Structure 1
Amino acid sequence: MREAEAAELPRLQEIERAAGEAFRGLGMGWVADDEPPALTVLEGFRGEGRAWVAVEPAAGGGDGPPLAYLLHEEVDGAAHIEQVSVHPAAARRGLGRELIERLAGRARAGGLSALTLTTFTEVPWNAPYYARLGFRALGEGELTEGLRRIRGVEREIGLDRWPRVCMRREL
């Protein structure tokens, strides 16, 4: 686990596209067809140290290409997971969990109170997965202004075609 490098940003887009294909089987083709974050957006996260990757060691030493990535930002005193994606070829190895745990450690050391995210409630690798990692669904009255803003953007772009939830894990 390490910070992403500028040359790896197109690979993050590839991971996002590949990971998105799983949504097609759930009748969520619109999610699968959604374009990954633009390189300029990814560079913004990377340039601020908020884009991390999970890699395997390369055969000759050094790192192989990224297999998973996480983007995060601070929202209302919490480390907010903007995106975490794992390439399907590397699924079920705990890479997403490891990235989240790294963020939890960093956030705790930085004095943040929690991790937050927004996700689909009925997708097995979304809300049920995060619940297993210690996140809990927030009620409407528990949402911070920042989370309300994020949910508003999600509604505007059509993600509410499927049930969504904000989740929080105390640190």
Structure 2
Amino acid sequence: MSVRIREMQDGDPPILHRVEHAAARLFATVSDPAIAAIAEHPPVPLEDFMPVLSGGPVFVACDAGSRPIGFAAALDMVDCLYLRELSVHPDHQGKGVGSALLDAYIRRARRDGAARCALSTFRAVAFNAPFYCRRGFVELPLDHAPQQLRDRFHDEAPPGLDPASRILMVRRP
């Protein structure tokens, strides 16, 4: 599949909002019922989604027709580019779109001189931590993480889910 990665443009947020909601349906395939329930959540209002797209670069994957099909939203932190979210529309998953978005994010971190790339995700969900492990990310135990990353990790923990189901991961850009 041919995919082009670009920075977010003015008209993208509503489309990315729909991509995020569609991508969340994949959680229905997870055996843990608490995580699978994420697929049943209604989409947050667009205005509640907008903060995910602020505070750092947002990379948009486009199909051959220049339509957004995925995105990676990052947050600039001290010495770190933090990946807030990576979502790919289900019609385009498994075709390298997520990897292309992740590569763009890592290249930006390298270009900007970040000491590390970081993210938090589900430990045992195949399209989460194992995906990032295959791309060079490793677990950073919370007690070894800078306070800023620990705070971000706790802020992103979905309510009602066991915190042990989540993992903080890092890699060098």
Alignment TM-score, normalising by the size of structure 1: 0.85
Out of 58, 65, 68, the residue aligned to residue 66 of structure 1 is 68
Q: Any unmatched runs of 5+ in structure 1? A: none
Computed over aligned residues only, the root mean square deviation of the Cα atoms, in angstroms, reads 2.2
Other structure's SS at 2:37 match = helix
**Residues 161 and 144 (structure 1), Cα distance of their counterparts in 2 relative to 1, 3 Å cut:** closer
Out of 111, 122, 125, the residue aligned to residue 120 of structure 1 is 122
Q: Any unmatched runs of 5+ in structure 2? A: none
Q: Which moved more, 1:36-45 or 1:86-95?
A: 36-45
In structure 1, how many angstroms separate the alpha carbons of the residues matched to 2:111 and 2:44?
28
Out of 50, 58, 62, the residue aligned to residue 55 of structure 1 is 62
Give 1:66 deviation, angstroms: 0.7
Equivalent positions of 1:120-159 (< 5 A) are 120-155=122-157, 157-159=159-161
- Number of aligned residue pairs: give it: 166
Give 1:161 deviation, angstroms: 6.1
**Residues 151 and 85 (structure 1), Cα distance of their counterparts in 2 relative to 1, 3 Å cut:** same
- One-letter amino acid matched to 2:7: E
Q: Which moved more, 1:104-113 or 1:2-11?
A: 2-11
Give 1:38 deviation, angstroms: 4.6
**Identity within the alignment, %:** 28
Give 1:169 deviation, angstroms: 0.8
**Consecutive aligned runs of 4 or more in structure 1 exceeding 2 Å deviation:** 27-30, 33-49, 154-162
Deviations 1:79-137 (A, max 9, x none): 10000011111011111111111111111111111110000011001001100000001
In structure 2, how many angstroms separate the alpha carbons of the residues matched to 1:52 and 1:10?
15
Kindly indicate whether the alpha-carbon contact (under 8 Å) linking 1:69 and 1:99 is maintained by their aligned counterparts in 2: yes
In structure 2, how many angstroms separate the alpha carbons of the residues matched to 1:11 and 1:96?
17
